[in-house]
Every structure is written in structure tokens, then in C-alpha cells.
């Protein structure tokens, strides 16, 4: 038996500096056409696009390290390459830092993404993959060993 999931219901990101992160996420999540449900001194939470995204104040603030146990990064799926470009253009104005500008790479056929960090250094990505991507029946899975090796390198 298998269980076919229907996406990710919500994600919470614990931030080291809530005051610095909140304006970034207010802008980013509004750009994603998400609506705010909760806005308190410790939690900012929005819904839209069949998911929820929240940021929560850290109890023990530490710098983000994507190779520490826990979250590596979060990737949001866009509906077009133009949407990826729009995010890349907006992120610096929200107080984020681009890690790489929009580019294609080998994760899936036509994979196009922008990688960036929030003001606390948490890595975020927005990508667009045309069609079914790696779920296309013509794609052989798992990916070839050389592609897998390239994709796991930091």
C-alpha cells in the first residue's frame, strides 16, 4: 500500500532574529499571494497556494547552518520562469540576499531556480519545472550516478 500525499500542508521556519525576518517574510509571502492568518510578537503565519508558511521566534537564537541536523532549505514551486525572475528581483528589496540568480541546472528537465537567504541566513529557493519534470515516464529514476554526485556537492 502507498499513500499519495497532496503536497505540504505547512512549514514553520524558526528564525534567530524575528524583528529582522518578519519584514522579509511579510514581503515575500505577499508576493506569493499568501494571506496572513496570525501576526503576533512570536509568530507570523500565512496561507495560500495550497500551503501555509510561518516564521517563529527562536527560543535559542543561533546562526542558521544548512548542514546542521534539521532544515537544509525550503523550495517553493513557481508556475513560470517569469515568476522565478520576479522573486529574484524582489528579494533584495525585502532584505534578503541572492545566493545565485535565476539559472537552469540538472535537477530535472527544464529546472529553473533562484536561491536566496532570508535576513537570518535561512536558505530558500523558488523553482519552475515544466511539465512533469522527473515524474515524466520518460525520465529514468533514480538519476544517473554522475548527476547525483554533482547535485550533492555543497
Q: Give me the domains of the chain, ranges plus CATH numbers.
A: 10-152 (3.10.180.10)
pLDDT of residue 154: 61
pLDDT tens for each residue of 68-124: 778 888 999 999 999 999 999 999 999 999 999 999 987 888 999 999 999 999 999
- 135 or 50, greater pLDDT: 50
Determine the distance from the C-alpha atom of residue 23 to the mean position of all C-alpha atoms in its chain, rounded to a whole number: 17
pLDDT(24) > 70: yes
pLDDT of residue 63: 81
pLDDT of residue 5: 84
pLDDT(56) > 70: yes
Determine the distance from the C-alpha atom of residue 15 to the mean position of all C-alpha atoms in its chain, rounded to a whole number: 15
Q: What's this model's pTM, rounded to 2 decimal places? A: 0.89
Residue 130's beta-bridge partner residues?
none
Rounded-to-integer distance, Cα 16 and Cα 104, Å:
31
- In degrees and rounded to multiples of 5, residue 20 shows phi and psi of -80, -35
Q: In whole angstroms, how large is the CA radius of gyration of the chain?
A: 16
**Which letter does DSSP use for residue 134 in this model?**
G
Rounded-to-integer distance, Cα 13 and Cα 85, Å:
24
pLDDT of residue 121: 94
Confidence of residue 32 (pLDDT cuts 50, 70, 90): very high
Rounded-to-integer distance, Cα 78 and Cα 80, Å:
6
Rounded-to-integer distance, Cα 6 and Cα 64, Å:
29
Q: Are strands 10-15 and 51-57 parallel, antiparallel or unpaired?
A: parallel
Please identify which residue in the block is written with the cell numbers 503576533: 40
pLDDT(21) > 80: yes
Amino acid at each position: 500500500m502507498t499513500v499519495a500525499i497532496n503536497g505540504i500542508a505547512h512549514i514553520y521556519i524558526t528564525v534567530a532574529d524575528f524583528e529582522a525576518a518578519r519584514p522579509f517574510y511579510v514581503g515575500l509571502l505577499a508576493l506569493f499571494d499568501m494571506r496572513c492568518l496570525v501576526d503576533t510578537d512570536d509568530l507570523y503565519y500565512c496561507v495560500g497556494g495550497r500551503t501555509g508558511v510561518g516564521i517563529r521566534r527562536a527560543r535559542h537564537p543561533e546562526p542558521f547552518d544548512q548542514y546542521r541536523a534539521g532544515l537544509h532549505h525550503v523550495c517553493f514551486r513557481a508556475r513560470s520562469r517569469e515568476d522565478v525572475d520576479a522573486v529574484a528581483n524582489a528579494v533584495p528589496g525585502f532584505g534578503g540576499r541572492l545566493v545565485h540568480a535565476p539559472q537552469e541546472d540538472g535537477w530535472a528537465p527544464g529546472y529553473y531556480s533562484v536561491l536566496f537567504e532570508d535576513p537570518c541566513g535561512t536558505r530558500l529557493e523558488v523553482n519552475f519545472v515544466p511539465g512533469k519534470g522527473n515524474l515524466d515516464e520518460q525520465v529514468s529514476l533514480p538519476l544517473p550516478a554522475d548527476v547525483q554526485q554533482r547535485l550533492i556537492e555543497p
